[in-house]
Structure 1
Amino acid sequence: MQVINTGQGVGGILNGFRALVEDSEKITFVGTPGFCTPFAELIGFVVRNKQLAFIPNLDFESAKTLLMTKQGMQLGDSTDPSADTVVLLGGLAMPKIGVEAEKANELVGRILNGKENGKVIGVCFQSMFSQQKWEEVIAFDYIINADLDIKVMEV
């Protein structure tokens, strides 16, 4: 694994992601409802001109479109989540969620449905995919990993 780009803050995540999916037509995000959904909406904003979908947990049949509305990026109607790019969000790998990497990998195969040039991208914080050894099970093409430095200040 080699670092191909670095950045800071939210802009670093968004710009890095946009560059990775330039040639993608349809992108399906997979994550936990609630925790990962806003991240899919945030990341999806920079590629809002593409076809986007969100799968909660690993429930293929519950996929929804992710679209730009007057209120910002939001989930829409049910959709077929088959895509040429899959984005696994790190919340799935958190131990308390209970998702197995093997099951996530099966879902990746179902979403890509045999596409030869399909991409698998992980987006996580604090090296979650590495910590939980998902990199040993899933053939990620790219992982965007961000570290958080939090300060709570009293003023």
Structure 2
Amino acid sequence: MPIINTSEGVGGILNSFRGLVEGAKRITFVGTPGFCTPFAELLGFVVRDRELAFISSQDFDKARSIFKDYEGMQLGELTDKHADVVVLLGGLSMPKVGINPEKAKEVAKEILEGSENGKIIGVCFQSMFLKQKWDEIINFDYIINSDLAVEVMEV
């Protein structure tokens, strides 16, 4: 899998994402509730001029809108799940979540139904999609992978 771009930090993730979804009118994020939701909202901020939706792994049949209000990006009312781009978030691939890649692939296919040039983008940390071999099941167009370094300092 060739690396087409490298960057650092949250800005690097956001700028990379914005570049990959250029031209998309509708983007649907799929992830676990709680853990993935804030990442969908964060990524959604840089494309807030598009129609955005979030699907929770607790109910793949229901999509909720993501919208900007004065407090930032928020989940809203039920909406259509169909999109030009589906973003699978790495929390789905964590072993304790219990979602298999075949199910995620099926969900992505449903979301992209009717899209002429639909894309599947994975966004994960610490190579979760690769470690769990999701890239062998799902035909990702792109994977944004990031590593986290954590320092706790006593001052």
| TM-score interval, smaller chain | over 0.9
1:30 is aligned to 2:30: yes
Take 1:15 and 1:58, find their aligned partners in 2: how far apart are those partners?
29
Q: Point out the more displaced range, 55-64 or 86-95.
A: 55-64
Q: Point out the more displaced range, 111-120 or 22-31.
A: 111-120
Q: What do the CA deviations read for 1:65-119 (whole angstroms, capped 9, x no partner)? A: 0000111000000001100100000000000000000000000000000423100
| SS of residue in 1 equivalent to 2:61 | helix
TM-score for the superposition, normalised by structure 2: 0.98
Corresponding letter in the other structure for 2:51:
Q
CA contact (8 A) 2:33 2:58 kept: no
1:146 corresponds in structure 2 to 146
Which structure features the higher share of helix residues?
1
Number of corresponding residues = 155
2:67 corresponds in structure 1 to 67
Corresponding letter in the other structure for 2:121:
I
CA contact (8 A) 1:60 1:81 kept: no
Take 2:85 and 2:4, find their aligned partners in 1: how far apart are those partners?
19
Take 2:115 and 2:69, find their aligned partners in 1: how far apart are those partners?
30
Q: How does 1:75-154 map to 2 (within 5 A)?
A: 75-154=75-154
TM-score for the superposition, normalised by structure 1: 0.98
Q: Point out the more displaced range, 45-54 or 113-122.
A: 113-122
Aligned-pair CA distance for 1:24: 0.6
1:8 is aligned to 2:8: yes
| SS of residue in 2 equivalent to 1:74 | strand
Take 1:85 and 1:38, find their aligned partners in 2: how far apart are those partners?
18
2:56 corresponds in structure 1 to 56
CA contact (8 A) 1:13 1:144 kept: yes
Q: Which runs of 5+ in 1 are unaligned?
A: none
Q: Which runs of 5+ in 2 are unaligned?
A: none
Q: Give me the CA root mean square deviation.
A: 0.9
